[in-house]
Amino acid sequence: MRIEVILGSTRPGRLGDRVCRFVIGKAALVNGAEFTVLDLADHPMPFFDEPLAPLANHDRRPSAPVRAWLEAMAAADAYVFLTPEYNHAPPAALKNALDFLATEAAGKPATIVSYSTTAHGGALAGQHLRLSLSKAGMLPLPRSLPLAHAHRLFDPTGELVERSDWAPRVAEFVPASLRDLVEHARALKTLEEATTSGM
C-alpha cells in the first residue's frame, strides 16, 4: 500500500513540519505500507485557472506542478491529510490543490489530522476538509483527534514532548488511525479488484 502524507501548510517555519515528523515516525510502526510525504510547498500551483471543472474537462492541459500533484495523488492508495486551521478552514493552498483533482483520488480512503496552536486543534478545518475530500470522491475515515496546542505537543524533531494527560492519547491515537487507514485501503483495493474482474 502506498500512502501519501499531505502537508497542507506551505508557510516558512510551519508547525506542520513537527506534526509531519511525528506522523512519519509513527507510520514506521505500521506494517505493509509505504508512507511518503507530499509537501504542497514542492508543488507551487497557480490558483485554479482551468476553463471548466476538472470532471467536465476532457481536454485538460495542466502545468507541470499541477500534473506532478495529480500523478502523485493517482499513484497513491490512501492519504493522510495534515491540516492546520486558518480562519476556521484549511489553508487556501490545500483547498486549491484539491480543486485540481478530477478522479485521481476517487474511491480511496483518507485520514485527517488537524492541528493548531489553540484549544480547537483545528477541528473546524478538519470538518471543512472532510466535505471537500468527500466531494473529490475520497472516503474520509471517521476517526479524528484534533491536535490542540500542537506547538507544545511536539519538539522540532517531531518527538512528543508534552507530558500532560492528553499526550498518551495522541501517542496511541495516531498509529491506530494509520493502521485503520491501511486496513481500509487494503479492503477497498480488494473490492475494486473483485469489481473490475467481474466477480
Ligand X SMILES: Cc1cc2nc3c(=O)[nH]c(=O)nc-3n(C[C@H](O)[C@H](O)[C@H](O)COP(=O)(O)O)c2cc1C
Rounded-to-integer distance, Cα 108 and Cα 176, Å: 18
- Shortest spacing between CB 14 and ligand X, in angstroms: 4
Least distance to ligand X from the beta carbon of 68, Å? Answer: 22
* Interface residue with ligand X, options 4, 39, 85, 104 (CB under 6 A): 85
Decide if residue 120 touches ligand X (CB under 6 A). Answer: yes
Q: Does 140 bind ligand X (CB under 6 A)?
A: no
Cell numbers 483547498 correspond to 95
Count Cβ atoms within 10 A of the Cβ of residue 61 and give its class: 0-12 exposed, 13-18 middle, 19 or more buried: exposed
Q: Is 86 in the site for ligand X (CB under 6 A)?
A: yes
- Run of H or E including 4: strand 2-7
How many residues bind ligand X (CB under 6 A)? The answer is: 15
Of the candidate spans 30-38, 41-49, 78-86, 185-193, the one that interacts with ligand X by CB under 6 A turns out to be 78-86
Does the footprint of ligand X cover residue 16 (CB under 6 A)? yes
CB of 20 to ligand X, least distance (A): 9
CA distance linking residue 77 with residue 61, whole number of Å: 24
Asked whether position 84 contacts ligand X by CB under 6 A, the answer is yes
Q: Which stretch binds ligand X (CB under 6 A): 22-30, 47-55, 66-74, 80-88?
A: 80-88
Kindly tell me the sign of the dihedral angle through the C-alpha atoms of 40, 41, 43, 46. Answer: positive
Please give the order of strands across the beta sheet that includes 109-115.
34-39, 2-7, 78-84, 109-115, 139-140
Q: How far is the CB of 179 from ligand X (least distance, A)?
A: 25
- Residues recorded for the chain: 199
Q: Please report, as ranges, the residues that interact with ligand X according to CB under 6 A.
A: 9, 11, 14-16, 84-88, 116-118, 120, 122
